[in-house]
Amino acid sequence: MASQKNREAMLVSKIAIVGAGVSGIAAAKQLSRHNPIVFEASDSIGGVWRHCSYHSTKLQSHRRDYEFIDFPWPDRDNPEFPSHTQILDYLHSYAEHFDLLKYIKLNSKVVEIRYVGDREAAEFGGLLGDYGTLMPGQPVWEVAVQTSQSETIQWYGFEFIVVCVGKYGDVPKIPAFPRNKGPEVFKGKVLHTLDYCKLDQEASVELLKGKKVAVVGYKKSAIDLAMECAEANREAEGQPCTIVLRTLHWTVPHYMVWGLPFFLFYSTRFSQFFHERPNQSFLKTLLCLVFSPMRHGISKFIESYLLWKQPLKKFGLKPEHPFVEDYASCQMAIMPENFFSEAEKGKILFKRASKWWFWNGGIEFEDNSKLEADVVVLATGFDGKKKLKTILPEPFRSLLEYPSGLMPLYRGTIHPLIPNMAFVGYIESVSNLHSSEIRSMWLSHLLDNKFKLPSVENMLSQTLKEIEVMKRSTRFYKRHCISTYSINHADEMCQDMGWSSWRKKNWISEAFIPYGSEDYEKED
């Protein structure tokens, strides 16, 4: 709870935005006419690109797929993947160009949020009736903000809050260990990737060079870290890095498959037609069933290329699940250049284990084998839910994942059971910048009363349909990803805003060319 000590008088405004990462910046731009106040806990904008990136971190998608609608990248057609520093430069240029920095309060951490509106009307959406007034004309939320190096708590009152703290960064996810088998018994150094990101290049090399390093995990952060470890140990006396992994995922060397661009398989309206989506007609459901062999065939076609191009079988890295399940859960990772050549040299090793714990010399596994290590880096992800639960009050904290186990977000933005609040940046897609921007545009239209929300019951029903589609698409549905029906998701938001959902000039482009930010320029 925020301390009452040194509490200043309350300041009142219309809209608060919590977080100044990609989603927070997008929301600030689209809601700028309301003069929002953006609270950023750190000393810089950029979110994970600023605080959770390695020296080698690059964008997973082409830069042309990761740009704001009205602010193209320099050299837009350059196909290279920009580094995290280039992305930060782009985000800063965007914020400066649209004069967004004036809304942002850096080093301002939200430590508590209180609901002061009509609690009876808010609980369970007024018994699943109307959602309620979005901008009631008076504060319904009180927000406690603490600035760095200060004990003073400044309280603010807002009519509406947009939460953009995201799923990644800030709160590391640490595995649970048996008693007396945790990091405390290990004589070496244990850190999470969040700690590693804070090191400068000299310190990171010093940490890895000449050390026996174990990296726990097999997603993008673990793969990139293993590559940095191999580069730090290039000399003959350098030690290998061992990746300890539980679940295998498909990795991609680049965005071409047997000479064909990857977008043809999943990112066009035609290709997404073969995948299930929420609210589809009976005929569409029937067609999805008929075309299921084609979906399976496409996945096998891509897998055949990945197995030919990469020595996955040789190193025991071939996943047991089909490729499409990783794509449907936004877990398709681009493999760093020369990764497998380093593995061939013995600089990167692999150990698969479902259970492990520490001993004083490293890591021990359930088969009683042991791995000696000087440094263990936990690339085990982040606990985004915990971030939210630390600031949200009851009963809303308990409703975050009600009733499905995932956060039910209508149009990826509004929680039907939490009043006067939006969440941007929680449901993933192939390009999170693009999805955050269009949701922010949708939210701007909503707050300007250009359309109305359906009933709480109808919104909950819609979110449950989406979650059921995710469950049928991938076993990793808890990632909350819409990649296989992202165009349809954008279509629905366009229809809400009164826009045409088909955005291209002719039906050939509409069917076979992927959608990009330029397709969603404002119509009003």
Q: What is the dihedral of CA 98, 384, 332, 307, to 10 degrees?
A: 150
pLDDT for the residue numbered 9 = 62
Residue 78 has pLDDT above 80, yes or no: no
pLDDT for the residue numbered 194 = 92
Q: Could you please report the per-residue DSSP string of 376-445?
A: EEE---B-HHHHHHHHPPTTHHHHTTTTTSS---BTTTB-TTSTTEEE-S-SB-S-HHHHHHHHHHHHHH
Confidence band for 6, pLDDT divided at 50, 70 and 90: very low
Half-sphere exposure of 350 toward its Cβ, with a 13 Å CA cutoff?
22
Confidence band for 7, pLDDT divided at 50, 70 and 90: low
Residue 142 has pLDDT above 50, yes or no: yes
pLDDT for the residue numbered 76 = 67
pLDDT for the residue numbered 169 = 75
pLDDT for the residue numbered 451 = 95
Over residues 163-169, the mean pLDDT reads 86
Q: At what angle do helices 84-97 and 22-30 cross, to 10 degrees?
A: 20
pLDDT for the residue numbered 342 = 94
Residue 407 has pLDDT above 90, yes or no: yes
From the CA atom positions of the chain, what is the Rg in Å?
24
Residue 47 has pLDDT above 70, yes or no: yes
pLDDT for the residue numbered 126 = 56
Q: What's the predicted TM-score (pTM) here?
A: 0.93
Residue 108 amino acid letter: S
Confidence band for 516, pLDDT divided at 50, 70 and 90: confident
Confidence band for 145, pLDDT divided at 50, 70 and 90: very high
Q: Which of 43-47, 96-100, 196-200, 433-437 reaches the highest mean pLDDT?
A: 96-100
Which residues are registered as beta bridge partners of 365?
Answer: 356
Confidence band for 279, pLDDT divided at 50, 70 and 90: confident
pLDDT for the residue numbered 1 = 56
Q: Which of 6-15, 281-290, 383-392, 458-467 reaches the highest mean pLDDT?
A: 458-467
Over residues 479-508, the mean pLDDT reads 93
Cα–Cα dist 150/240, whole Å: 45
Residues 6+ apart with CB under 8 A from 96: none
Instruction: Return mean pLDDT, the chain.
Output: 91
pLDDT in tens, 64-75: 888 999 999 887
pLDDT for the residue numbered 369 = 94
pLDDT in tens, 112-122: 999 998 876 66
Cα–Cα dist 17/421, whole Å: 10
Residue 254 has pLDDT above 50, yes or no: yes
Confidence band for 524, pLDDT divided at 50, 70 and 90: low
Least confident of 130-139, 340-349, 359-368, 434-443: 130-139
